[in-house]
């Protein structure tokens, strides 16, 4: 399969939008297709982009496109993608986070307005609320549609930032809302694309929108806080000069701009903060007690003894806006950002850690939007699913996980196949081949023979054409263990949608179920 991927590269394709490649037998017939009664384990770990493909494979009443009917799969997911899905979850949520920022503000009788583009609605809704689908009392949401009809957002790098700014301006003028939280998506979303000019325009579009919010805060006497969830384009180059379209380990800004009357005098912000300190800082400004669950601390270093509650607070999350010294690979510094520069020069500011252990991830790993928004809203460190699963692999509990064992025993007893489906990447917010390798080892221990792998390529931030290398690593592992075969490879663009682009999901479904795609014959025996 690796050579077939390289041929696709030579024809002008790239990992994320790779057209489906389908393994065949000697007669040219697709092998390893997902069939009725089979077992399937979806080993991705993020959640929101995994829902639609799961619905198409599990919902008997699915109607967005024509399917093969009810497959009656024994379907298992690594983590919970959505509570409503009819699946077995191997690592269910440990406990629901209580007393997140939205919950505390609402319980105090205050109103919260959240504004985002649809591209980031789940982050400002679900993740900011502690991975909860609850909409708390007093919580209002405005979701601005992201641009439609474009394959990639570098065609419209301004995205819908102006409309988001419109909604924030309205929220600033509305006395009902004590807190307005808004996300500007451009830098993160466009930053995952190798288009320098588009990224510069995306940065400048966010800065222009932020300038409008800044002026609205001045007019209405609001307190403006500016931060980000992780870095992206401030460190856009690998040391060898090649482009890195992934997230970074950079800290992110935190700016305090108080236009209330009276303004807080003599304010300084402490160093050494992290994203979990944002919620306690907001509660501090609202004069609301911090709940015991919030282990983060207010970012204020010094101020007057009397802190009047702020009537209006606006929190802007500049998605993907990290901090690094100016240099060749810093596209934020290369862009024109007069509004951000004005705030940074004139207002108290600090930097916040937004990667690794500070956001509940393994040491030295990059940040991401899910962890970033989760920690901004939770006000505490939350160990993410990846850490919990990695620990289970390390101590051996993974191989005895009841959900995995049941799925594999069902396949063996019924004489059906086991399918392993998910991202093929060394490290992605959606998952890792290390978890796939652990599943293959579990299948070996369970004595399975018919094990088929359906892999998705395109981890943002990988070096170009790295997908073929990772697929070959999986094939090597299959040979080493004597179990498993890669039978479908396609770009994540088709399989991991979250905007109800059902034509993309249909392509992924038809590849894995019907074998629609470029046929790849078996490699000749050495």
- Name every residue whose Cβ is closer than 8 Å to that of residue 479 and which is 6 or more positions away in sequence: none
Q: State pLDDT tens for residues 150-193.
A: 888 999 999 999 999 999 999 999 999 999 999 999 999 999 99
State residue 219's pLDDT score. Answer: 96
Lowest-confidence pick of 122-131, 213-222, 301-310, 468-477: 301-310
* Intervals of CATH 3.40.720.10 along the chain: 101-381
CA distance 91 to 401: 9
CA 19 to chain centre: 23
Average pLDDT over residues 313-341: 97
Q: State pLDDT tens for residues 136-155.
A: 999 999 999 999 988 889 99
The burial of 417, by beta-carbon neighbours within 10 Å (0-12 exposed, 13-18 middle, 19 or more buried), is given as buried
Does 495 have pLDDT greater than 60? yes
Average pLDDT over residues 197-221: 97
pTM of the predicted model, to two decimals?
0.76
Share of the chain above pLDDT 70, in %: 97
Does 304 have pLDDT greater than 80? no
pLDDT band at 460 (very low <50, low <70, confident <90, very high): low
Average pLDDT over residues 467-480: 94
Average pLDDT over residues 409-427: 93
State residue 443's pLDDT score. Answer: 97
State residue 239's pLDDT score. Answer: 86
**Segments in 482-516 forming alpha helices (H):** 492-495, 502-514
**Phi, psi (5° rounding) for residue 44?**
-70, 160
CA distance 464 to 14: 8
* Intervals of CATH 3.40.1450.10 along the chain: 2-93+387-520
- The single residue listed with the structure tokens 């919030």 is 294
Average pLDDT over residues 350-363: 94
CA distance 323 to 307: 30
pLDDT band at 303 (very low <50, low <70, confident <90, very high): low
Let me know: does 225 contact 313? Beta carbons within 8 Å: yes
Q: How, if at all, do strands 268-269 and 300-302 pair?
A: antiparallel
CATH class of 2-93+387-520: alpha beta
State residue 37's pLDDT score. Answer: 96
Does 461 have pLDDT greater than 80? no
Respond yes or no on whether the N-terminal peptide bond of residue 153 is cis (omega within 30° of 0): no
Let me know: does 29 contact 369? Beta carbons within 8 Å: no
Q: State pLDDT tens for residues 364-379.
A: 989 999 999 999 999 9
| Tokens found for residue 357 | 């252990």
pLDDT band at 466 (very low <50, low <70, confident <90, very high): confident
pLDDT band at 93 (very low <50, low <70, confident <90, very high): confident
The burial of 483, by beta-carbon neighbours within 10 Å (0-12 exposed, 13-18 middle, 19 or more buried), is given as buried
Average pLDDT over residues 331-352: 97
CA distance 172 to 180: 7
State residue 459's pLDDT score. Answer: 64
In the chain, % helix, strand, coil (3-state, to 5) comes to 40, 20, 45
Q: How, if at all, do strands 418-423 and 39-42 pair?
A: parallel
Does 48 have pLDDT greater than 90? no
Q: State pLDDT tens for residues 214-251.
A: 999 999 999 999 999 999 999 999 888 888 888 999 99
State residue 361's pLDDT score. Answer: 87
* 101-381 has CATH 1.10.760.10 classification: no
Does 431 have pLDDT greater than 90? no
Does 462 have pLDDT greater than 90? no
Average pLDDT, the chain: 93
State residue 165's pLDDT score. Answer: 98
- The single residue listed with the structure tokens 């997908």 is 467
Does 526 have pLDDT greater than 70? no
């Amino acid at each position: 399969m690796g050579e077939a991927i390289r041929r696709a590269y030579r024809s002008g394709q790239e990992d994320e939008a790779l057209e489906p490649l389908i393994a065949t037998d000697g007669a040219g017939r697709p092998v390893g297709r997902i069939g009725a009664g089979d077992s399937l384990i979806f080993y991705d770990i993020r959640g929101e982009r995994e829902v639609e493909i799961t619905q198409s494979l599990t919902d008997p009443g699915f109607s967005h496109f024509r399917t093969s009917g009810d497959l009656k799969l024994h379907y298992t997911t690594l983590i919970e993608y959505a509570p409503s899905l009819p699946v077995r979850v191997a690592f269910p949520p440990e406990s629901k986070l209580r007393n997140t920022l939205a919950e505390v503000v609402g319980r105090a009788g205050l109103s919260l307005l959240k504004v985002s583009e649809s591209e980031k609605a789940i982050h400002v809704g679900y993740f900011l609320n502690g991975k909860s689908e609850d909409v708390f009392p007093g919580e209002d949401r405005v979701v601005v549609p992201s641009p439609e009809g474009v394959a990639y957002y570098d065609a419209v790098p301004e995205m819908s930032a102006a409309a988001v700014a419109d909604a924030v301006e309205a929220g600033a003028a509305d006395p009902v809302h004590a807190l307005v939280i808004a996300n500007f998506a451009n830098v993160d979303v466009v930053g995952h694309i190798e288009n320098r000019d588009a990224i510069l325009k995306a940065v400048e579009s966010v800065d222009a929108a932020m300038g409008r919010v800044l002026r609205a805060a001045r007019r209405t006497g609001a307190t403006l806080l500016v931060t980000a969830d992780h870095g992206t384009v401030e460190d856009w180059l690998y040391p060898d000069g090649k482009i890195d379209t992934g997230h970074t380990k950079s800290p992110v800004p935190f700016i305090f701009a108080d236009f209330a009357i009276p303004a807080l005098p003599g304010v300084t912000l402490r160093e050494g903060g992290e994203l979990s300190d944002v919620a306690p800082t907001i509660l501090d400004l609202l004069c609301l007690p911090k709940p015991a669950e919030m282990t983060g601390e207010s970012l204020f270093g010094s101020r007057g003894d009397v802190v009047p509650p702020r009537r209006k607070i606006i929190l802007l999350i500049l998605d993907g806006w990290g901090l690094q010294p100016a240099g060749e690979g810093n596209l934020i510094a290369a862009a024109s950002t007069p509004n951000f520069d004005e705030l940074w020069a004139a207002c108290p500011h600090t930097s916040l850690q937004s990667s690794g252990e500070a956001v509940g991830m393994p040491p030295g790993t990059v940040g991401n939007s899910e962890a970033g928004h989760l920690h901004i809203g939770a006000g505490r460190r939350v160990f993410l699913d990846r850490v919990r699963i990695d620990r289970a692999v390390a101590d051996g509990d993974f191989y005895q996980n009841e959900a995995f064992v049941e799925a594999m025993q069902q396949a063996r007893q019924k004489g059906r196949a086991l399918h392993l489906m998910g991202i093929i990447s060394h490290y992605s917010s959606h998952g890792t081949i290390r978890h796939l390798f652990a599943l293959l080892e579990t299948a070996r221990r369970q004595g399975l023979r018919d094990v088929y792998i359906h892999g998705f390529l395109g981890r943002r931030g990988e070096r170009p054409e790295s997908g073929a290398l990772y697929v070959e690593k999986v094939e090597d592992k299959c040979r080493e263990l004597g179990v498993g075969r890669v039978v479908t490879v396609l770009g994540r663009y088709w399989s991991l949608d979250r905007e109800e682009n059902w034509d993309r999901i249909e392509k992924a479904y038809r590849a894995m179920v019907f074998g629609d795609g470029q046929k790849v014959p078996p490699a000749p025996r050495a």
